[in-house]
Amino acid sequence: MTHALPRDLSCPRIATRPGGLELSRVVAGMWRMVEWNMTVEQRIAFIEQCLALGVTSFDHADIYGNYGVESLFGEALRAQPSLRARMQLVSKCGIKLLSNKRPQHGIQHYDTTAAHIIASAEESLRQLHTDHLDLLLIHRPDPLMDFDEIADAFTRLKQAGKVLHFGVSNFSRHQFEVLNRRIELATNQVEFSPLHVAPMFDETFDGLQDLGIAPMIWSPLGGGRLFTANDANAENLRLVIKDIADRLHQPFASVVFAWIMQLPSRPIPLTGSGRIEAIKVAVAGAGFQLARQDWFAILRAARGHEVA
């Protein structure tokens, strides 16, 4: 069963921490943009449709699309410069991929040295055709990361006006708090969905809620597996969500986004789609709350057992 979306959909805004960076409540994730095979004109149209919905924040990483996504997005901004002032640009650095674009990388590895962070940020600015990033994240925790060195690199980028806010991605609660003591962090972008609920139980969300900092969420639909996984647990989870969606006359994915955004740590989910209809479905999830019993019904199905 499909359910019609409200015509006057508008994405609200949220501060990631008190007095800090403001993002749209749903962020448009760009990691698959190479696969969308859009012309420059189509990319501009897609960005404009997102902005018209109130989805003003766009998530990138230097490595996305084999180091290709930022330049595709940057071509759109070069062709339509007025778009930049209406959006927030997020990017990530710290992973060195084996790639024909980076022949000097002999092994896939992490690099969170100050030199690499600064060089990556400056390259992202060039590729995105902008003079500043609104938010820069360390993409993955690095066993060789020096917290003081990262904080120093962030400070230098901020003083130069090249990056306005900083954060991390995939960090543990402890790693986040250690770096946050050295420089104010805006967010920790982590994987979370009904198929991956660990951040609710490993202190990630609790620690961020304690600090008043909203996590960003990648893969909120389990990378599409919520729709396709055929093991018994996933099939039961899908039935539970579909039953709630039908009862509320809401799209299936809207219920998932609402379930995520209902957490008191105020998670900010990313989309991964180049279809504006999919973005609208995500935004619709910001417009309603689930009854506590329905929320827990999804959690029970996600974990495969009752709360005890």
Which residues are part of the catalytic machinery? 64
* 153 contacts: CB under 8 Å, gap ≥ 6: 113, 114, 117, 118
Q: Each residue of 22-45: b (16+ CB within 10 Å) or e? A: ebbbbbbbbbebbebebeeeebbe
Query: What whole-number distance in Å separates Cα of residue 48 and Cα of residue 55?
Result: 9
Contact 13, 24 (CB under 8 A): yes
CB-CB contact of 194 with 226 (8 Å): yes
What sign does the CA torsion over 287, 288, 289, 290 have? negative
Residues in contact with 223: Cβ distance below 8 Å, sequence separation at least 6, in sequence order = 272
Q: Token digits for 105?
A: 């990388």
Rounded to the nearest 10 degrees, how much is the dihedral formed by the CA atoms of 260, 262, 268, 272?
A: 30
Whole-number Å distance between alpha carbons of 271 and 274: 9
